[in-house]
Amino acid sequence: MFDTERFIEDCRALEAKGDGQPAIHQLLTRAVSEPSEMLKALGEPGRAGVTKLYHDASLTILNIIWGPYMTLLPHNHQMWAVIGIYTGREDNIFWRRLPGDGDGRVEAAGAKAMSVKDCAPLGKDIIHSVTNPVPRLTGAIHVYGGDFFNEPRSEWDSETLVEKPYDVERNMRRFEESNTMLRAS
């Protein structure tokens, strides 16, 4: 059975021991292997949003609910991450910086479709965009090796793919816009 508080304590202990990403990846892989238990503990998603489960200077744990067909622009985290899907689907496009480009533009470099029970580590320097490609809510636990809310990072314009500072407020509005569309459908 998935216990949210126990999961948080286990993640904190692993990070404190210096095991970090590899051990947390194994822990989250085990957790999402029983998605019905995670749904019992976290509840069936009812709306898009970001719920902070734990946050300090060295570790952030979020329950992210992606709205139907919701997309976030290419962005980086400036810290490692582990993502585990417990309901729905999340598609990631991975991007790389164009060498010698003064605007910090990026180009697509790969992709990964993640479904229920999938868990993936992301390196500190990864740039990715996220799409929920299904017509229902997707739930995922995201664990970050740092202070997700206070680390300066970048996002890339959807049309020009030019780098700019990450806009937290605009990205949070995307979740609310997704909820408005969900209510209308």
| 46 CB neighbour count, 10 Å cutoff | 10
Cα separation, 64 vs 50, in Å, equals: 5
Cα separation, 112 vs 115, in Å, equals: 10
Domain residue limits at 117: 4-184
* Tokens 């709205």, located at residue: 67
Section 99-105 average pLDDT: 87
The CATH number covering residue 107 comes to: 2.60.120.10
* Tokens 């009812």, located at residue: 46
Structural domains of the chain, count: 1
Looking at residue 18, its pLDDT comes to 87
Q: Which percentage of the chain shows pLDDT scores above 90?
A: 90
Looking at residue 38, its pLDDT comes to 97
